[in-house]
Amino acid sequence: MRMPDINGRLALQKNTLRFLCSVLIKSGTRVEICKLLDPSVFDDALQRVVFEEIRELGSIDSRRLRALLPARVTNRGFADFDLKEFLAPHEVSEKEIDQLFESVLQLLDFSHPDQEHSVD
């Protein structure tokens, strides 16, 4: 699979992070996706740090994740991090969640191009 241009890659990465922070997915699903994704697929340093912190927080409620994430990202050197701006548009509709999940699947392909993926 060919990787999209830099703007397309950054959009995939942002959409994946929006998906991982969504209240519409279960914490176990988030954990499994984080296990499968390679942090190196995140080109932007801030996006990589956000992903690493989401992965580190593990199986917690998405509302708790959103509450803890800003301080953790700030502690990693991003003093001006604003979660609401980062995840904008903030609320994810049930219709949009499918599109965001498609971004996750594409990033999984880039993480492990020779493997099939199964996410519950």
pLDDT in tens, 53-70: 999 999 999 999 999 999
Least confident of 38-42, 48-52, 92-96, 116-120: 116-120
Using DSSP's 3-state secondary structure scheme, residue 43 falls into coil
Neighbours of 107 (CB within 10 A): 24
What is the dihedral angle through the alpha carbons of 27, 24, 101, 9, rounded to the nearest 10 degrees?
A: -90
Measured at the alpha carbon of residue 88, what is the angle toward residues 85 and 91, in degrees to the nearest 5? Answer: 125
* CB 71, CB 44: distance < 8 Å: no
Q: Which sequence spans correspond to the domains of the chain?
A: 6-111
Evaluate if residue 12 carries a pLDDT over 80: yes
Q: What is the predicted pLDDT for the residue at 1? A: 46
Q: Does the model's pTM come out above 0.85?
A: no
Evaluate if residue 113 carries a pLDDT over 70: no
Nearest-angstrom CA–CA distance, 83 and 75 = 14
